[in-house]
Amino acid sequence: MYQKKAPCTAVLVGLNVVVFLFLSFQGMTEDAGFMLQHGAMYVPDIVYEEKYYELFTSMFLHFGFEHLMNNMLVLIFIGYQLEYEVGGIKYVLIYILSGLGGNFLSLVFDLHTGDYAVSAGASGAIFGIIGALCYIAVRNHGRVGRLSGRGLLFMVALTLYLGFTSTGVDNFAHIGGVVSGFLLAVLLYRKNRKPEAYS
């Protein structure tokens, strides 16, 4: 049977779930005010009150169960593949830095428009994983394991389209995540895969 172990993906999923459950016992995770008190991102807080940590903490917060589950299902589906390709340390670096990159682009766009909203979620980091996998697919003749480069690009295009045609979606965090993940993979990925394990 084909197997790939992805302990870092499991830890990241577990961490997001634990944070969600912890907050759920204290209040309403769909309430913007409650989430802001617990580390969600709000541009005026970061710029004028120097709460820079919100760029990081917001990556582990989710507005309700559906938001959490949607992100975690995607993370489980694609995270193990990137972890296998680059290793645990580089994988976590791509995840964290892509999330920060996505949040930073979102911050810049909000400052440009002056349209501020409380935001949270792991989607910027998850889009970073997709961006990294896109680069690896380019390096490996259009495929990464069972994933194809075209399939990944279609996933990005469809998700961005749905985001721009919906309300309440931080599309610039997604764009920033994809770009960050792609560039980080350029820097971190080395094409020296280990033999695949079968049992």
Active site residues: 123, 174
In the chain, DSSP assigns E strands to: 143-144, 147-148
SS3 of the chain: helix, strand, coil, percent, to 5: 70, 5, 25
Residues 6+ apart with CB under 8 A from 94: 82, 86, 128, 129, 132, 181, 184, 185, 188
Backbone angles phi and psi of 164, in degrees to 5:
-75, -20
Angstrom distance (rounded) from CA 98 to CA 9: 15
